[in-house]
Amino acid sequence: MSKSVSVGSVAIGGNARVAIQTMCNVKTSKIEEVVRQIGGFYDLGCDVVRVSVKDDDDLTALREIKNRIKMPLVADIHFNYKYALGAIDAGVDKIRINPGNIGSEKNVEEVAEALKRSGTAVRVGSNSGSVEKELLKKYGKNEISLAESALKNVAILEKHGVDNIVISAKASDVPLTIKTYEYLAKKTDYPLHLGVTEAGTVGMGVVKSSIGIGALLLKGIGDTIRVSLTADPKEEIIAAKRILRAAGLDKNYVEVISCPTCGRTEYDSIGLAEKVERLTSDIKKPLKIAVMGCVVNGPGEAKDCDLGIAGGGGVCAFFKGGEIYKKVPFDRAEEEFLKEIKKLVE
Amino acid sequence: MSKSVSVGSVAIGGNARVAIQTMCNVKTSKIEEVVRQIGGFYDLGCDVVRVSVKDDDDLTALREIKNRIKMPLVADIHFNYKYALGAIDAGVDKIRINPGNIGSEKNVEEVAEALKRSGTAVRVGSNSGSVEKELLKKYGKNEISLAESALKNVAILEKHGVDNIVISAKASDVPLTIKTYEYLAKKTDYPLHLGVTEAGTVGMGVVKSSIGIGALLLKGIGDTIRVSLTADPKEEIIAAKRILRAAGLDKNYVEVISCPTCGRTEYDSIGLAEKVERLTSDIKKPLKIAVMGCVVNGPGEAKDCDLGIAGGGGVCAFFKGGEIYKKVPFDRAEEEFLKEIKKLVE
C-alpha cells in the first residue's frame, strides 16, 4: 500500500479512495471566474483542483481563491522557485513543481524548508517529452528513464527532508504510461498521481485515459487521477468518475446497464437509456437499472438488476430480479418507467 | 498464440490484426436499409458485421445481403437451429449460436455437420446473465462459471468435430470481464471475441469498453472486438478504432497529441485540436501532430511530433522535432497550421 499524504482535507494514498483532480483553464488572476469554475467542479464531484501560477498576478490571486473555495487547491509552478514560496505562503494545499528545474541548491533548500514548515504537499513528476538527456542515454527512451526522471526529483526533496510527496510520470503513449507506473509502484511507496498526458480531445482522450488509468487502477496502482482532455475541464471530471465506477472503485451510484440495439429492438431504447442515465447520474445509491432492447435477452441477462425494462410486440415489460411484473404499451412506457425509477430511488 | 479462424476473407486469431465488429440495428428483413447501413460501417473501417435472425423474413434476407456487401457477414441466432441451418445455407461467414440451447442432440449434430461441410465459422459464448445453474452452484458467480459456461458450448461442438470456433464470455462488469478472458486465454487457444456487454450509452459505455477491452489487448489477449453501445453502431466502430490505436495495435494513423488547456492557454486550442482530429481521422499514415496550449511545455513535450503548434504572446509557434520554424499571429494561425498539415500528409 502507498503512504498517505494529506492535501488539505483530502487524503491521497494509503486507504483513501482515489481522488479526482482537474485543472482550471481560466487565467488564475481572474479570481471571480476561477472561483466560479471551481464551484462547478465541486458540484460535479471533483476532489482537488489545480491552478497554474504563471505571473505575479496569478500568485497574488491564490490567497483569495483558496479562501473562497471548498476543495484543496494545488498551485502549478514552472521553474520559478519564488512562486513556489509565495504559493506555500498563500496557503495552498499542494504545489506541483520539479526541484530539478528551479535553479540552485539554495533555491531547492528554501522551497523544501517552506514545505516542511507549512506541511504543504508537493507533486513531482516527469513527462515523456522532458526526460533528462543523461537518463535517456543511460536507460533509453522507455519506462525506466521516464520513471527514474520522476524519482530523481523525489530524491532531491528527500535529501532535504521533505516526504509529503505525490509522484506522477506521464506519457501520451498508453502502454508506456502503464509500464512506467508499474515500475514506480515497485520502486516507491509514495502515492501515485495517474494520467495520460496530452491525450487529446474528448473522443480519443477519454479512450486513452480510460485504458491507461483503468488498467493501472485494476492492478491496484494509483491514488489520485486526472483525465487530461483538450476540452472543458468538466469533461475531465465526468470521465474520471466513469473510470472509477467502471473499475469497480466507486459502487455508490446508479449503474445503467443497457444493451446495444440490434435488429430485434422495436422501441427507442437508446433515447430511454440516455434519459435514465441523466436522471440518475447524481444519485449516490448502489443501484442497477437495465434498459434492454428486447425481451429475448433482456430480463434474463439483467436479472440481477433492481429494475429493468425490455420491449417487444408493442409493449414494454418492466422487471425486477428477472421477473416481469408489469407490461406497458410503448407509447406510455418511458413515462411510466421514469416514475418507477423515482419510486425506487426514494 | 491463438489459432486462426477464417471468417470469410477476414482471419481472426493467429497473427492476424484484431478485427473490428459491429452489429446492424435495422431489422434484417429490411434489405435495402441493412445493406446501406453495412456500407457505412465498411467505410468507417469495420471488418466484420453481424445481423440478427429473428424470423423467417430475416432468414430469407441473408442471401441477398451477403451478396451485396463487401465484408464478412455473421448471423446471430437464438435457440432456433433451423435458422442456423438456413443461415449456413445462405452463405454467411459465421454464425453466433450456443449449441447448448438449440434443443436435442440431433439438432446440434445437424448444425455441426452443416458447419463442417460449409467451413462456416461459429462463435459460441456465455453471458453473465445466463450462466447455467449447475455451473453457478459448482463455481459460484464469478469468472470461472462464466468462462466454463462458454467452454461447455465449445466442448459440445468439438464432440461433433467442429473446430472453426471463436469464443466470447461477456459481462457488464469490467473487472469480471477481464478475469474471465484471462481464464479463457489460459484454458483454450481458440480466438477470443472481446466485449463488455450492456456497457451503456456512449458516455459510460466507451469508458467501460476501453478499460475492459484495452486492458486485455495490452496483455496480448483478444483477437476480435466489439464495443457494445446503446447508440448508433457507427459509434461502436469509432470507439473500437480508438481502442486499437490507444493500445498501440494500430499505428497507421495520425495521432493528435493535445494538452489539456490550463490558465496558460491564450488561444482556442480546443477548437483547433478538434479540427485537426477531424481533418486527419481517415488518413492512414503513422504521423504525430501536436496541438499544445502554451509555449512553456509545448515544443519540448511534443518534440517527437512530425508537426506541432503552441501559442503564447499573440502568436502561435509552429515546430518540428522540438524546433520552432515559424511564428504566425493568432488570427491566422489556424488556417496556416491546417495548410501545413495538408502539406505534411501529402
> Residue B269 is part of a domain; what is its CATH number?
3.30.413.10
Number of residues that make up chain B: 346
More confident residue, B133 or A346: B133
pLDDT tens per residue across span B182-214: 999 999 999 999 999 988 899 999 999 999 999
Residue B222 shares a structural domain with residue B241: yes
Query: What are the residues whose beta carbons fall under 8 Å from the beta carbon of A23, sequence distance 6 or more?
Result: A49, A50, A51, A52, A76, A226, A233, A236, B260, B262, B263
**Which of A229, A238, A269 has its CB closest to that of B260?**
A229
Q: Is B61 on the interface with A (CB under 8 A)?
A: no
Rounded Cα–Cα distance for residues B85 and B24 (Å): 21
Interface test with B, best of A198, A209, A319 (most B CBs within 10 A): A198
Residue of chain B whose alpha carbon sits nearest to that of A293: B230
Residue A112 shares a structural domain with residue A225:
yes
Contact status of B122 with chain A (Cβ, < 8 Å): no
Q: What is the pLDDT of residue B263?
A: 66
Q: Do residue A130 and residue A70 come from a single domain? A: yes
Cell numbers given for A64:
483569495
Contact A18, A171 (CB under 8 A): no
**Inter-chain touch B247–A129, beta carbons under 8 Å:** no
B321 to chain A, any CB pair closer than 8 A? The answer is: no
Q: Which of B222, B246, B270 is the last residue of a domain?
A: B246
Helix (H, G, I), strand (E, B) or coil at A7: strand
Least confident of A23-37, A183-197, B10-24, B266-280: B266-280
Q: What is the pLDDT of residues A291-312, one digit of tens each?
A: 988 777 778 778 889 999 888 7
pLDDT of residue B268: 82
B205-263 confidence digits (pLDDT tens): 999 999 999 999 999 999 999 999 999 999 999 999 999 999 999 999 999 988 877 76
CA A273 to CA A334: how far, in whole Å? Answer: 10
Q: Which of B76, B80, B181, B207 to mutate to test the interface with A (most CBs of A within 10 A)?
A: B207
Whether residue A326 is found in the same domain as residue A186: no
Does residue B307 share a domain with residue B217?
Answer: no
DSSP one-letter string for A253-294? SEEEEEPPP-TT--S-HHHHHHHHHHHHTT--S-EEEEEES-
Could you say which of B192, B215, B246 is where a domain stops? B246
Q: Chain B, 140-159: which have a CB under 8 Å from a chain A CB?
A: none
Q: Do A207 and B214 touch (CB under 8 A)?
A: yes
Name the burial class of residue B272, with classes exposed (0-12), middle (13-18) and buried (19+) by CB atoms within 10 angstroms of its CB: buried
My answer on whether B240 and B284 are in the same domain is no
Q: Does B178 touch chain A (CB under 8 A)?
A: yes
pLDDT at position A121 is: 98
Does the distance separating the beta carbons of B198 and A257 come in below 8 Å?
Answer: yes
pLDDT in tens, B35-56: 999 999 999 999 999 999 999 9
Q: Are B31 and B90 in contact (CB under 8 A)?
A: no
Q: What is the 3-state secondary structure (H, E, C) of chain B?
A: CCCEEEECCEEEECCCCCEEEEECCCCCCCHHHHHHHHHHHHHHCCCEEEEEECCHHHHHHHHHHHHHCCCCEEEEECCCHHHHHHHHHCCCCEEECCHHHCCCHHHHHHHHHHHHHHCCEEEEEEEHHHCCHHHHHHHCCCHHHHHHHHHHHHHHHHHCCCCCEEEEEECCCHHHHHHHHHHHHHHCCCCEEECCCCECCHHHHHHHHHHHHHHHHHCCCCCEEECCCCCCHHHHHHHHHHHHHHCCCCCCCEEEEECCCCCCCCCCHHHHHHHHHHHHCCCCCCEEEEEECCCCCHHHHCCCCCEEEEEECCEEEEEECCEEEEEEEHHHHHHHHHHHHHHHHC
CATH number at residue A157: 3.20.20.20
Determine the pLDDT at residue A49.
98
B207/A76 touch (CB, cutoff 8 Å), yes or no: no
- pLDDT above 90 for B1: no
Give CA–CA dist B278/A200, Å, rounded: 12
CA angle, residues B165, B72, B236, in degrees to nearest 5: 90
Residues A206 and A308 reside in one and the same domain: no
Q: What are the DSSP calls for A162-209, one per residue?
A: ---EEEEEE-SSHHHHHHHHHHHHHH--S-BEE--TTB-SHHHHHHHH
The answer to whether A261 faces chain B, any CB pair under 8 Å, is yes
The C-alpha of B247 sits at a distance from chain A's nearest C-alpha, in angstroms, of 6
Q: Can you give the pLDDT at residue B293?
A: 81
- Within 8 A of A200 by CB-CB distance, chain B residues are 256-258, 273, 277
Domains in chain A, number: 2
**How far is the C-alpha of B185 from the C-alpha of B292, rounded, in Å?**
41
Query: In terms of Cα–Cα distance, which of A204, A42, A265 is closest to B274?
Result: A204
> Does B184 lie in the same domain as B74?
yes
**C-alpha distance from B59 to closest chain A C-alpha (Å):** 12
Compute the nearest-CA separation of A1 from chain B (Å): 20
CA distances (Å), A235 to each of A75, A240, A241, in order?
21, 8, 10
Question: What H or E segment, with its residue span, contains residue A5?
Answer: strand A4-7
B40, B30 Cβ separation under 8 angstroms: no
B187 class by beta-carbon count within 10 Å (0-12 exposed, 13-18 middle, 19+ buried)? middle
Burial A220-258 (b: 16+ CB within 10 A, else e): ebbbbbbbbbbbbbbbbbbbbbbbbbbbebbeebbbbbb
- Please report the ipTM that was assigned to this predicted complex: 0.92
B44, B235 contact by CB (below 8 A): no
Helix (H, G, I), strand (E, B) or coil at A22: strand
B296/A23 CB distance under 8 A: no
Q: Are residues B228 and B264 in the same domain?
A: no
What span, in angstroms and rounded, lies between the C-alpha atoms of B111 and B117? 10
pTM, to two decimals: 0.93
- CA angle (B271 as vertex; B269, B277 as ends), nearest 5: 95
Do residues A189 and A289 share a domain?
no
CB-CB contact of A52 with A25 (8 Å):
no
So what's the pLDDT on residue A263? 67
User: Rounded to an integer, what distance in angstroms lies between the CA atom of residue A312 and that of residue A293?
Assistant: 8
The reported pLDDT for the residue numbered A280 is 85
CB-based contact A214 B218, cutoff 8 Å:
no
Which residue, chain included where needed, has cell 485537426? B276
Residues from chain A that touch B58, judged by Cβ atoms under 8 A, are: 263
Nearest to B174 among A175, A247, A274 (CB): A247
* A214–B207 CB contact, under 8 Å: yes
Name the maximum alpha-carbon separation found in chain B: 78
Kindly state whether residues B222 and B280 are assigned to the same domain. no
Kindly report the nearest CA distance between residue B276 and chain A, in angstroms. Answer: 10
- Residue written as grid cell 530539478: A100
Query: How do residues B147-166 score in pLDDT, each as one tens digit?
Result: 999 999 999 999 999 999 99
Which DSSP symbol is given to A13?
Answer: E
Question: Cβ contacts (< 8 Å) between A172 and chain B: which residues?
Answer: 255, 257
If phi > 0 it is left, if psi is from -120 to 50 it is alpha, else beta; for residue B119 that is left
Residue B266 in grid coordinates: 491564450
Q: Tell me whether B58 touches chain A (CB under 8 Å).
A: yes
Cell 501532430 locates to B289
Q: How many CB atoms are located within 10 Å of the residue A259 CB?
A: 27
Domain range for A322: 254-345
Task: Tell whether B39 and B179 lie within a shared domain.
Answer: yes
Q: Is A3 exposed, middle or buried (0-12, 13-18, 19+ CB in 10 A)?
A: middle
Strand partners, B327: B317
Look-up of cell digits 533548500: A109
Domain-ending residue, one of A212, A230, A246: A246
A160's enclosing H/E stretch is none
pLDDT in tens, B45-101: 999 999 999 999 999 999 999 999 999 999 999 889 999 999 999 999 999 999 988
C-alpha B135: how far from chain center: 29
Q: Show the low-confidence residues of chain A (pLDDT under 70).
A: 263-264
Identify from B262, B279, B282 which residue to disrupt to test chain A contact, counting A C-beta atoms within 10 A and taking the largest count. B262
- Residue B338 touches chain A, beta carbons under 8 Å: no
A245 shares contact with chain B (CB less than 8 Å): yes
